[in-house]
Structure 1
Amino acid sequence: MAPIASNKAALLALRCPRCHEGKIFTSRALSFNFADMPEVCPVCGQPPEPEPGFYYGAMFVSYAFSVAIFAVTAAALYFLFGDPEIWVYVVVVGLTAMLFTPLSVRYSRMLMLYLFGGVDYQPNWVRYEPRTRRTAPAPTPSEV
């Protein structure tokens, strides 16, 4: 697979900021573990979490996404359905927010990683080879 040339396109495709090839999330968005990330990029070996607690800042970005989802949904209900009763707002806005939660979490993390992660695109990166665990040789009878 060829790397994505643009940072914006790689961010939207949820790819590694260093190689633009490796997937940042290990599972699909519509699964229960939608926020799971690998320890390192499977293609270039770049860790997706630059430091412990790095993604606490993504909560603020996710909050902004949620406010935008609430506002757009409420405005659509008001203008398209002629200001329905309050319970309709609560149900529809709540369901819409739950539906978009996986995307909100994923893209808030990606924005944090691309803007504040300190990793730039390197088109000439060296392919990552995972380390294999070396086992000590079995002791010989004379060593026992």
Structure 2
Amino acid sequence: MSRIQSTPLSLLALRCPRCHEGPLFKSSAFNLSKFTEMPEHCPVCGQTYEPEPGFYWGAMFISYAFTVAIFVTSGVLLYWLAGDPALWVYIATVSIAALLTMPLVLRYSRALMLYLFGGVRYEPNRAAGTSRP
């Protein structure tokens, strides 16, 4: 894997916040049986992905904000593009949009939580294979 120099791009690529190389998740978001699984440590630099027990409970609030944005966006787009359809169309569209984006919402809410509140900063000269608690 190549190192990404930019922190926002590394976040979008779901890479380790310290080395910007190691993946944050074990499998693809399309693998619906394993899309939530994260390794305990970065395979490149050894950074712990769970700074403390229950750390990702805070990601629920980030996930909630993402979901509200999806609800509002899909509702407004439906209103403008479909000309204010019946209520059941809104409910079906918003529900389908929320279900389809659930794996990405979960992954990006966890990544954002780790990047913002994990206490980990990018170390561009971090040697591979060395771990520091």
Q: TM-score range, shorter-chain basis?
A: over 0.9
1:73 corresponding residue in structure 2: 74
1:122 corresponding residue in structure 2: 123
How large is the Cα RMSD of the aligned pairs?
1.3
1:87 corresponding residue in structure 2: 88
2:24 corresponding residue in structure 1: 24
1:59 corresponding residue in structure 2: 60
1:7 corresponding residue in structure 2: 7
Deviations 1:16-63 (A, max 9, x none): 001000000001101222111001111111111111100000000000
- In the alignment, the residues of structure 2 paired with residue 103 and residue 116 of structure 1 have an alpha-carbon distance, to the nearest angstrom, of 19
> Per chain length, whose mean CA-contact separation is higher, i.e. which structure has more relative contact order (CA < 8 Å, sep 6+)?
2
- In the alignment, the residues of structure 2 paired with residue 65 and residue 112 of structure 1 have an alpha-carbon distance, to the nearest angstrom, of 13
For the pair shown, the structure with the greater C-alpha radius of gyration is 1
| One-letter amino acid matched to 2:25 | F
Aligned residues between the structures: 130
1:45 corresponding residue in structure 2: 46
| One-letter amino acid matched to 1:30 | F
Deviation, 1:3, is 1.1
Identity of aligned residues (%): 59
Q: TM-score, normalised by structure 2?
A: 0.94
Deviations 1:80-138 (A, max 9, x none): 101111111111110000000111010111111011100111112122179xxxxxxxx
Q: TM-score, normalised by structure 1?
A: 0.87
Question: Runs (4+) of structure 1 moved beyond 2 Å?
Answer: none
Q: Return 5+ residue gaps in structure 1 as ranges.
A: 131-144
- In the alignment, the residues of structure 1 paired with residue 110 and residue 130 of structure 2 have an alpha-carbon distance, to the nearest angstrom, of 26
- In the alignment, the residues of structure 1 paired with residue 7 and residue 36 of structure 2 have an alpha-carbon distance, to the nearest angstrom, of 21
- Secondary structure of 1:71's match? helix
Answer with 106-115 or 118-127: which moved more: 118-127
